[in-house]
Structure 1
């Protein structure tokens, strides 16, 4: 997937980061850079993400690196690793970070509940664990998008475009809070229309392009007619779009979540079946997670430990002014 950048998207996405910063102020967390003396005890930040094959997580990792340098100084070490959506692998990585003396872990859990024992072991050693993008049981704090709202926005648009009737397929994903909440938000909008039939959505398509391609290929064999497809992220949507192209299926459109540059490119294509994506801000999310992690590392206690960043619906008519993720 492409990683285009540029200024046109700032008007849409930078307000998300500004509003997130206001949330931190409400939590009494300092957003100013720390002096070298204040940060001297912070030596290393670790980042674990589900899959570095997903550009969203690449951006998240870069965002942590940039925020760490800005807020804690140039000497803080940042290590970014992919867990490949493998729980055993991520558990081992957390244990390795403990041995390596990581002070703050920015964690994108591959399983929201099953990662808890590893998280609690890490916290028992004094490590601060900030769950990022998805919730992680036992974490010190959490920074995510408003994922339920993301699903609602995408599928409200879908229901309106369908005129409240049709057959809709949801391409699901890994058992993490962001996916569960997006699907729940989507279903709440679609089931409000009595004329919409939801096709089975219990298969984990992996949250990847390859997974979206495989799942969509199989679903098109099972369902000779589909009116709309909701995917849990843009890589899945991209794979589904490729599958539809290969099969010559043109009767349905796709709505997704991420707001990635490649999704916006697809929105711009004439006659595209890619109709909408709900924009997140991985760089802004990373910055907030690092701010909160440093504050907790310094012993500050926030009034709340969950920040849900706002999201915005991106459609073809808005794509000309947006390049993805507000950089």
Structure 2
């Protein structure tokens, strides 16, 4: 991992003084156009990021770590962020929270902002599997921990839950309860968690000796309540409805539940529902929601501990890949009444 490019490096490459580079960055109108272009070319070539945080650090402002999540409106990430903030605060660090909204373009802008602020480390739930944003941060000398995204990359730490195992737990439960027409309402395939939860669900189907046609995937554009509502409306319009729905997260499941209850569908007698994450709203739903539980705050605390450890003792740090086991919490939305 290389050191960040300094203003002195830019000055050397452009063959000007450090003061001239500073003027280009702060008062470009006082620099001759040809010189200004030469400095800007060096900045682009070297990948220099101006240190807007230097003054704050000199004045004693707490060190900061960045946190980039897929959807800050999802209570799962709210709880993860709470774990991050608690640990960071205890260590004297502030947290800059960024919401990518499942957009690679927004993620890239946030990564650039965090680099400009010279945060001491970044925790990120990447939008895409190519980890392009992560590699840009590493190239600039930053400590990075993948959050809710497992990896075997040797130069990165990661903290996640075994999503494939979680998907298997959900489908094993539904099959054991006797459901045989199951739809998985799932998010975009570029999202790692969505793919892994589907793979786990298919594992359960195969292990049960059932045909894969028992499970149908219904893709939605986002992992939110509105997408769950639209998916439920599509399912209700079918001549043959599923007898169970497994949702890739609890927000989708709550959206499905809302529409089914409004339509007078009895849950779980006519259609069962299983969610994922076990956010606080799951247990408090109109029909308490069966869900795959993740240790949300523990994920955040562990990730914060890893990134702070790497920033404080980079020469001694050993990268770790922490993978927690999920737990199925069975409630009324999927439990058949035995008569």
- Length-normalised TM-score, structure 1: 0.75
Q: How does 1:177-256 map to 2 (within 5 A)?
A: 177-191=192-206, 192-194=208-210, 197-201=213-217, 203-222=219-238, 224-250=240-266, 251-256=270-275
What is the DSSP-based 3-state SS (H/G/I as helix, E as strand, rest coil) of the residue aligned with 2:329?
Answer: strand
Contact between 2:121 and 2:142, CA under 8 Å: does it hold in 1?
yes
Q: Which of 164, 178, 194 is 1:148 aligned to?
A: 164
Q: Which of 320, 325, 328 is 1:313 aligned to?
A: 328
Unaligned stretches of 5+ residues in structure 1 = 1-39, 318-327
Contact between 1:167 and 1:196, CA under 8 Å: does it hold in 2?
no
Greater shift in the superposed pair: 169-178 or 215-224: 215-224
Q: For 2:255 and 2:277, locate their aligned partners in 1 and report how far apart those are by CA, in whole Å.
A: 14
Contact between 2:186 and 2:247, CA under 8 Å: does it hold in 1?
yes
Q: For 2:239 and 2:84, locate their aligned partners in 1 and report how far apart those are by CA, in whole Å.
A: 42
Contact between 1:133 and 1:145, CA under 8 Å: does it hold in 2?
yes
Distance verdict in 2 for CA 1:253–1:205, change over 3 Å: farther
Structure exhibiting the larger radius of gyration computed from Cα positions = 2
**Residue 173 in 1 paired to residue 190 in 2?**
no
Q: For 1:312 and 1:102, locate their aligned partners in 2 and report how far apart those are by CA, in whole Å.
A: 34
Q: Which of 63, 66, 89 is 2:106 aligned to?
A: 89
Contact between 1:142 and 1:307, CA under 8 Å: does it hold in 2?
yes
For residues 200-232 of structure 1, give each alpha carbon's deviation from its aligned partner in whole angstroms, at most 9, with x where no partner exists.
Answer: 315134111111111221133235321111111
Q: Which of 292, 314, 324 is 1:278 aligned to?
A: 292
**Residue 161 in 1 paired to residue 171 in 2?**
no
Distance verdict in 2 for CA 1:284–1:68, change over 3 Å: same
For residues 35-81 of structure 1, give each alpha carbon's deviation from its aligned partner in whole angstroms, at most 9, with x where no partner exists.
Answer: xxxxx9982100111111111111111211111012x22xx221112
Q: Which of 48, 54, 76 is 1:56 aligned to?
A: 76
Unaligned stretches of 5+ residues in structure 2 = 1-59, 333-339
Stretches (4+) displaced over 6 A: 136-139
Distance verdict in 2 for CA 1:239–1:41, change over 3 Å: same
Q: Which of 255, 258, 262 is 2:277 aligned to?
A: 258
Q: Which of 89, 103, 107 is 2:124 aligned to?
A: 107
- Map of 2:140 onto structure 1: 125
Q: For 2:163 and 2:221, locate their aligned partners in 1 and report how far apart those are by CA, in whole Å.
A: 18
Q: For 1:205 and 1:307, locate their aligned partners in 2 and report how far apart those are by CA, in whole Å.
A: 29
CA apart distance, 1:236: 0.7
Q: Bigger relative contact order, structure 1 or 2, given CA contacts below 8 A and separation 6+? A: 1
Contact between 1:159 and 1:193, CA under 8 Å: does it hold in 2?
no
CA apart distance, 1:247: 2.7
Q: How many aligned residue pairs are there?
A: 265
Q: For 1:78 and 1:94, locate their aligned partners in 2 and report how far apart those are by CA, in whole Å.
A: 14
CA RMSD in angstroms comes to 2.3
Contact between 2:283 and 2:289, CA under 8 Å: does it hold in 1?
no
